[in-house]
Amino acid sequence: MSKRALLIVLDSVGVGALPDAYKYGDEGSNTLKHIAENTDLNLPNLASLGLGHIENTGIEKAKNVIGSYGRMAENSPGKDTTTGHWEIAGLTLSSPFPTFPNGFPASFMKEFEKAIGTKTFGNKVASGTKILDELGEEHIKTGYPIVYTSADSVFQIAANEEIIPLEKLYEMCNIARNMLKDDMAVARVIARPFVGKKSGGFTRTGARRDFSLTPTGDTMLDVLKANCFDVLAVGKIDDIFSKKGITDSNHAAGNKACIEATKEYLIRDFNGLCFVNLVDFDMLYGHRRDVEGYARALEYFDNELPKLLDLLNDGDLLIITADHGCDPTHKGTDHTREYVPLLSYMKGKNYSNNLGTRTTFADVAATICEYFGLDERFKAVSFLKEMEGNK
């Protein structure tokens, strides 16, 4: 009989500033609470799993809770997507990925332009939508790709699909990925294709691709795969892990498509882990500081949650968490250093216990490995028995 675990990352849904948030300028951030305070947010299904019982979320407590709940602190330094996902999967970093607040060195850009055969624009910290309005028309005139970064460890290349075809853009990203090594080894090189003719009318497309570093050590994905379990990736999970440890993937774009892809996997059945990233919370609403849009996206997922629960088999394990925060009421447009929610549910069991504050995201990896009868714990602590009320 198959065993299945469904792990869903609500990208950027943080639940309060970590004690060291001051180091990142993120004091007072709380993505979920501030959205709840500024909208009529209603999440009854997530609340039934215990979301409102997590400290300081701003969500009303449900009377009948069918899941176990808590929050997790990030042990790794940083607040980026790659770091958060790797730690969830059991790989904790001792030093942050490099960032480039003043743009990339001129010497590197000269070598990169030589490698791709064209000049570039930008090379600065910028919002992904604002830089298109600033440089998009000039890009169309010259054909030069737009390079920019952010507070995160990223090298981003934006190009209009009619000017630089997708395959050419991806080739440029691969070249950058291979060149960005050692002290310049950014976490991700991101292809940012867009369409449109004029400033104010440019729109990024769903053909984004992330070219991440290969994980520097084994994760629970590798352990599961080595023990002949399925490891299914939905959304940008395959990019975040450079396909390492993954047996099958559906690179769906956007929350709706990713939720539908998850349903397809659950219907098809498998024996192992289905690992899902829902990117819209972060990409469309957190970075753009769209509080109302973020709230509606959360409600959409909440409405879809019962359908996912219905597709689980008795004994299946569901874990819902996040990888960092991106408080849309906070200053700037970058991620925020926050606790993340931890919701855990086992179909047919209705265990309802407080899992407390975990000291590392890697407790998720330890729990999933224990669930599948594997010995690896990644120097973390499984909460599987705590779900059952046995500490």
Do residue 111 and residue 130 come from a single domain? yes
User: What would the mean pLDDT of 372-376 be, rounded to a whole number?
Assistant: 97
126-129: long-range contacts (C-beta < 8 A, 24 or more apart)? 126/150, 127/287, 127/333, 128/156, 128/158, 128/192, 128/204, 128/287, 129/202, 129/204, 129/288
Say how far apart CA 80 and CA 354 lie, in whole Å. 27
Asked if the model's pLDDT at residue 1 lies above 80, the reply is: no
Task: For residue range 131-159, list pLDDT tens digits in order.
Answer: 999 999 999 999 999 999 988 899 999 99
Residue 46 parent element (H or E): helix 44-48
Say how far apart CA 129 and CA 145 lie, in whole Å. 15
Task: For residue range 81-108, list pLDDT tens digits in order.
Answer: 999 999 999 999 999 999 999 999 999 9
Asked if the model's pLDDT at residue 390 lies above 70, the reply is: no
Do residue 168 and residue 258 come from a single domain? no
Predicted pLDDT at 389: 78
Number of H helices, E strands in the chain: 13, 14
Is 101 part of any domain? no
Is 150 part of any domain? yes
Do residue 116 and residue 68 come from a single domain? no
Do residue 127 and residue 206 come from a single domain? yes
What CATH number does the domain containing 24 carry?
A: 3.40.720.10
Is 337 part of any domain? yes
Do residue 267 and residue 361 come from a single domain? yes
Is 53 part of any domain? yes
Length of the chain in residues, anyone? 391
Do residue 191 and residue 70 come from a single domain? no
What CATH number does the domain containing 128 carry?
A: 3.30.70.1250
Do residue 52 and residue 200 come from a single domain? no
pTM of the model: 0.90
Helix then strand then coil, in percent of the chain rounded to 5, is 35, 20, 45
Do residue 85 and residue 219 come from a single domain? yes
Task: For residue range 66-86, list pLDDT tens digits in order.
Answer: 999 999 999 999 999 999 999
Task: For residue range 307-316, list pLDDT tens digits in order.
Answer: 999 999 999 9
Q: Which of 212, 241, 256 is the last residue of a domain?
A: 212
Predicted pLDDT at 332: 85
* Tally of domains within the chain: 2
Do residue 86 and residue 112 come from a single domain? no
Do residue 239 and residue 356 come from a single domain? yes
User: What would the mean pLDDT of 164-179 be, rounded to a whole number?
Assistant: 97
Do residue 327 and residue 197 come from a single domain? no
Task: For residue range 323-333, list pLDDT tens digits in order.
Answer: 999 999 999 88
Is 85 part of any domain? yes
Beta bridge partners of 125: 149
Is 15 part of any domain? yes
Q: Which of 178, 212, 246 is the last residue of a domain?
A: 212
Predicted pLDDT at 193: 96
Average confidence score pLDDT of the chain: 95
Predicted pLDDT at 391: 56
Q: Which of 186, 212, 238 is the last residue of a domain?
A: 212
Q: Which domain holds residue 89?
A: 4-96+214-387
Do residue 280 and residue 358 come from a single domain? yes
Is 69 part of any domain? yes
Task: For residue range 230-262, list pLDDT tens digits in order.
Answer: 999 999 999 999 999 999 999 999 999 999 999
**Residue bearing tokens 């500024």:** 38
